[in-house]
Amino acid sequence: MAATVTVEPAGRSCWDEPVSIVVRGLAPEQRVTLRVSLRDEKGELFQAHARYRADAGGELDLTRAPALGGSFEGLEPMGLFWAMEAEKPWGRLVKRDVNQPFAVELEVLDGHEPEGRGRLLGRTVHERNFLAPGVRREPVRAGRVRAALFLPPDLPESLNVVHLEYFEEAVDFMLQHPKVKGPSVGLLGFSKGGDLCLSMASFLKGITATVVINSCVANTIAPLHYKDMIIPDLGSDLGKHTTTESGLLDFMNIWNNPLEKPYHQSLIPLEKAQGPFLFIVGMDDYSWKSGFYANIASERLQAHGKDRPQIIYYPGTGHCIDPPYFPPSRASVHAVLGLPIYYGGEPKAHSRAQVDAWQQIQTFFHKHLNGKKSVNSKM
């Protein structure tokens, strides 16, 4: 091996942190292929590759050199990360144990041979971490709440009914925790988790700011119980699903319309919330009509004399808006249904949306929880 691969920051970086990749020791204007590989916690392989040409000094700097083909094209310094695809169909890269980093292997191969068959010139391994220095994963045991940060171990296997009191205990625990500044907390929810966050903000105390990503403004999937109140499930008609040419299920049109009288009771009373909302909308979302729902929220809040929510629309962006540099998930096997679902999104646009949305979310929380308008990007 003659080439040296350098990744900065060296050794390990947070997944939401961009890295600088430089290859040195190549021949002037040498043609090479860079390949990135990682295995998830189940051992499934994810890979991406791109073809490049070194400069006149035999150096390849991905912040200045455009990809000439492969998994993507053009100047994309983080393209090797967001363009990774699963070896098996419909695989989605998910991190469950946030204490353990992903080990990412970067290889430099000679030439522009297909399927990475060129001679190996150099390699390195870089760890992508999910907890910033000093952040700890602590078990939570308070009342009925049994959880670890982000990953509660005692959730039911199926979602048949939801009791908001459970989440009320979790909010109370956070507000009493000595490491929580208070006097309130923020909520972040995605998909079904988004409408759950909207319900929490509407009925529970101590919540100042709420962010939802591609979510509905009605209660979905299961009835919501709180004290003597029940909000029914919006409901759906699975018979209205369609199938893409590649055999993926498209659930865009299965959901009932919450504005129609039979389903109106499923709408969440957002006007009862204490704080502002931020809606993140992928305009190519094939799971929910996210833009439609965000507009319903805006109209409802204003009709009750409340400030309109902040809504950010991302063109070419699908349902699963993950943290920066995660490979966009355009389709995967649904965790509950066990079937391949189409989520939408165009890889480049979706990847850029993930970077921007991550900053927008942090700025929103710092503004409304800390009174700050900017934030340094760290998990």
Residues classed as catalytic: 191, 285, 319
Please tell me what DSSP assigns to residue 369: I
C-alpha to C-alpha distance for 100 and 149, rounded to whole angstroms: 14
Question: Both tokens of residue 312?
Answer: 């950010």
- Sheet of 185-190: strand order equals 185-190, 207-213, 277-282, 310-314
Sign of the Cα pseudo-torsion (51, 57, 62, 63, in order) = negative
Nearest 5°: CA angle at 273, between 272 and 276?
140
Between helix 192-203 and helix 164-176 the angle, nearest 10°, is: 70
Segment holding 279, helix H or strand E: strand 277-282
Contacts of residue 277, defined as CB under 8 A and 6 or more positions apart, other chains included, come to: 198, 201, 209, 210, 211, 212, 270, 297, 301, 309, 310
